[in-house]
Every structure is written in C-alpha cells, then in structure tokens.
Amino acid sequence: MKINFKTFLRAAFIAPLFLALSCSDDFLDVPPQGEQPAEQFWVNAEDAAKAVNSIYANLRSWPQVAFAPIAVESMGSDEAEKGSDPSDATFMNNFDNFTATSTEGQFADFWAGQYKSINLCNQVIDNVPGIDMDASLKNRYIAEAKFVRAYNYFRLVRAFGGVPLRLTVPKDASQFILPRASKEEVYLAIENDLTAAAGVLPTSYTGADIGRATKGAALGLLAKVSMYQGKWAQVLDYTNQVMALGYALVPNYEQLFRLSNENSSESVFEIQAALVPGNSEASNSQYSQVQGVRGVAGGGWGFNVPTQVLADAYEANDPRRDATIIFRGETTPAGDVIPNSVPNPRYNQKSYVPFPLVQPGFTEGCQQNIRVLRYADILLMNAEANNELNNSAAALTSLNAVRARARGGNNAILPDVTFVSKEQLRAAIWHERRVELAMEFDRYFDVIRQGRGLEVFGAKGWKANKNEVWPIPQLEVELSEGLITQNPGY
C-alpha cells in the first residue's frame, strides 16, 4: 500500500507507545481506526511511513498550536494580550504580567506536548534503522524525525533553559526520569540533529510530499538556533546556504498568510493542516479557532490579540500593520465585515481564515497551515549576522529586500534603510523583525536574547535573573523526586 503523506496527516492518530492506525487503502473511508500494537509494528517501509507521518500530524495538536504555546510563547511579549471576554481563561493574564507559577497548567501542557512529539521522533530514530527498506528513503525518514525533534527541543530550551535530554525511547522504568541537561548541552543536541538532517533532506518535494521538512528547513532552523547563541559566523553561513536554495518572498504580504499561499516560495517550514470533507475529527487544528474574531459567525474565540503597542510600532503607511491586525469595524480584504460590537479592538489577521470558508461541524479555520519559518526571517537573520560581523553593505541588502516587499512598489513608504552606524543598523534590523514577524510567536524570545527584557517588558512585571525563562512545571519536579530542579526565582 502506498502511504500518501497529506492523506495520512488528515486522518492519523498516534498514542505515545503504540501506533493506532487503519490498514485500509483509504483512511478517510474507515470511521473507526484499528489499533496496531508496537510489538507488531516496525516491520516494513509502510510502518515507517505511518510513523513519520504521525509525527507531522501531531504537530498541529492542541498542545502544539493552541493555548499552551500562546501562553508560553506569546503572552509575555508586548505585542499580544489575552483578548476574548474579560472573564474567559483569566489564567492567561498571569503570563502577561509574569505572575504565572510552576503549577500553572499551561506550562505542564506545553512541556508534555513537546515531549510527546520528541517521543514520536525517538520511536522513528530508534526503530526505522532496523527495517529492511530502501536505504535512501530510510535515511530521509530518520532525518525528518531529527528535524522535528530539534524543533521541539528548540521550543523547550527557549522557554525553560536546560531540560531533560531524551534521545532514545526508554527501555525500562529506570530510564523514565532524567535530570536536566544544561542549556548548552540541549543546544548541542539540536545542532547535531539539524546538521545530520540537513545532510540528508532534499531541497524540495513534489505532489503529496510537499510540506515535509527540507534541507532549507534544517539549515534555516540551524541559523535560528545559532542566532540565539550569538554564533554570528554560523548564522551567516547557514542563511547564505538557504538563500542559495531558490526561496523567494511572496509579493503581497497580506496574501502570504492566506490559504492560497500555503507552502509558497517563501515557506521554509510550516505545519500542515486541512479541512477534510466528512471527517471533522481529522480536521483538528485549533490554531485559527482560538485566535479568530470573537462574536461573529465563522470567527473564533478571540484569544492572543495584538496590542495597541504593536499597532503603534509600525511606520506610517506600512501595509504590514493592516495585514497583521484585524481592527474592530473594518472590512477585511476578503470582504468580512467586523462589527463594532465585537469584544476586542484588534485580532490576529495572520491566523485568519475568511468566514465563508468555515463549514458547519468543523473547527473554524482548521484548514490554516501554521507558518513556522519564513524566508523573510532568513533574510533578517542574515542581515543581523552581517551587521554583527561588520558587513554593513550585505546587511542592508537583506534588510532592504524585506522592506521592499512590504512596500509593494510604493517607494513613497518604507524607504530603504541607509547605514549610519553598526548600533543604529542593529536597531533597524530589530525593528524590522518586530513588524515583519509580528504575531508569529518570536517577539518575546527575540527581546530576551537581545538582552532587552527589562527595558521592554519591565513595566509588565518582567524581572531580570528570573524571567529569562519560565518555571519548570511543578509536576515534573515532583515526579522526579527532585532529580529535575526548578529554575531560580520560582
């Protein structure tokens, strides 16, 4: 049986220690899925394909794209606030004002979600080598699993610092609890996975395989991982390699985030989602639903809304402001009228799916892919690395390419940045990251790695020598009987 990647993503379900899979030629035509225990699995190439596809399917699950990542990766920033009705999910405010404690459930949800994904990757990395199958496909599957594992660990290390480093499936109970590795050890493991993946993964795919991890995705994430460690020579090297692979900015910034531009020329990696006719359970991404306009048919729950501070950060007439923020009372480019009666003055337009595309019985916006890494980010990392390495001309070339796309040919707005000093160019690049990547879950960690946490977030309650990281979930500390230590200040 041929395993179709996109079809599988629409229907797959996987449990932590066994695969629950249909054996039908058409997964979508089988209402109940049969369970295939692990001891009867890992036999052939078909099993390997199912396991790898399940890794991707899990990436759009609730802990990966909904409340937990909004809380951990967005709420602390100055660009987003809780939104929704004031009485709904008030715990989100604790992330906004930095009063969230180690017992907050969203920390546990985020932690468990990342480690579930890591476990799925470890199953592939441990078991696929023993399968008798095409060697090149086997190596690619392992590389895909290493890429996703690195992505999960990157999310963990940004949020918590050093975390337990599990690179194999536990063989017995004695291996279930591991101490925290250092932040440096986690970053090294991430780099090892991505370097190995980049050496194997193809530059692109065709047909149903579009959306899988590529060489560019591995190199691009390597660049980002290196940026967070201040390894500017490596950032420059990796971004230059990605820039030679044929990516291109989508001309219309607002349209970049619409369904018609999923997996576009600008997409380095995005999480795949789909609305599957007749199968609402498979159409399970709630990324857009939780952020959609509240109080209108086809909207959503209204969480993670842009702040006025973000709206004010854009230069005059920057088209990205209206392409990023849905304002109360406006009519969207797709023709949706946003009443003045909706509870919040602003909503995230990058997660928006036009209301008429919502179908009864399906989650609002479930077909929206999540953009994880874009070519614009690559260019801005390249600009920052060049500036830090005193290559101002090259830095300006990459920076101004992003600005040129944003202005869309209207040279009266967003003029090119000109070089004055290294420090001023650094500030210009940081500003461009802020407005170009707004509401894409980077701003909070960007400010911290720039060493500006107290300056930017201090008024919100951010404290130096504490809030550079979030607390380790208290449940993990307790289950480890002290083997896993808590972050200072929590």
When pLDDT is cut at 50, 70 and 90, the band that residue 169 belongs to is: very high
Other C-beta atoms closer than 10 Å to the C-beta of 174 total 7
Helix or strand or coil: residue 53? helix
Final residue in a domain of this structure, among 166, 201, 236: 201
Q: What is the pLDDT of residue 110?
A: 98
Categorize the per-residue pLDDT at 282 as very low, low, confident or very high, splitting at 50, 70 and 90. confident
**pTM, full prediction:** 0.93
**What residue has token string 């090294």?**
188
Report if residue 401 sits inside a domain: no
Query: How does the average pLDDT of the chain come out, rounded?
Result: 92
Q: Which residue has the higher pLDDT, 6 or 431?
A: 431
Q: 309 CB contacts (<8 Å, ≥6 apart)?
A: 78, 79
Is the confidence at residue 2, as pLDDT, over 50?
Answer: no
The CA-based angle 80-431-214, given to 5 degrees, is: 80
Give the per-residue pLDDT at 412.
86
Establish if 407 belongs to a structural domain: no
pLDDT in tens, 358-376: 999 999 999 999 999 999 9
State pLDDT tens for residues 401-458.
Answer: 999 999 998 988 999 999 989 999 999 999 999 999 999 999 999 999 999 999 999 9
Does 394 reside within a domain? no
Q: By residue range, what is the domain housing residue 352?
A: 287-368
Q: Evaluate if residue 30 carries a pLDDT over 90.
A: no
Contacts of 35 (CB under 8 A, 6+ apart): 18, 20, 21
For 47, residues 6+ apart whose C-beta sits below 8 A from its C-beta are: 19, 41, 131
Domain check: are 193 and 88 in the same one?
yes
pLDDT digits (tens, 9 = 90+) for 146-166: 999 999 999 999 999 999 999
- Name the band, by pLDDT with cuts 50, 70 and 90, for residue 269: very high
**Is 109 part of any domain?**
yes
Whether 76 and 186 share a structural domain: yes
DSSP letter at 483 equals S
Phi and psi at 119, nearest 5°, equal -60, -40
- Is the domain of 100 the same as that of 1? yes
Residues 298 and 191 in one domain: no
Closest CA to 178 of 488, 472, 466, 489: 472
Question: Which pLDDT band holds residue 26 (cuts at 50, 70, 90)?
Answer: very low
- Give mean pLDDT, residues 316-330: 97
Q: What is the DSSP letter of 303?
A: E
Element (H, E) at 383: helix 375-388
- Tell me the CATH number at 139: 1.25.40.390
pLDDT single digits (tens) 56-88? 999 999 999 999 999 999 999 999 999 999 999
Give strand pairing partners of 303: 83
- pLDDT band of residue 35 (cuts 50, 70, 90) is low
- The answer on 167 and 25 residing in a single domain is yes
Q: Are residues 146 and 12 in the same domain?
A: yes
Residue 420, in any domain of the structure: no
Has residue 291 been placed in a domain? yes
Is the predicted pLDDT of residue 28 greater than 60, yes or no?
A: no
Asked whether residue 414 is domain-assigned, the answer is no
**What are the tens digits of pLDDT across the range 171-228?**
888 888 999 999 999 999 999 999 999 999 999 999 999 999 999 999 999 999 999 9
| Whether 186 and 309 share a structural domain | no
Domain finish residue from 201, 235, 252: 201
Count structural domains, the chain.
Answer: 2
Q: Tokens at residue 375, please? A: 């070519």
R_g over Cα of the chain: 22
State the pLDDT at residue 449. 98
Q: Based on the domain organization, do 12 and 119 belong to the same domain?
A: yes
Domain end marker among 176, 201, 226: 201
In this structure, the answer to whether residues 177 and 294 fall within a common structural domain is: no
Q: Average pLDDT, stretch 337-348?
A: 98
Give the Å distances, CA to CA, from 202 to 76, 140, 142, 216.
36, 8, 13, 8
> Does any domain span residue 412?
no
Distance, CA of 28 to CA of 7 (rounded, Å): 8
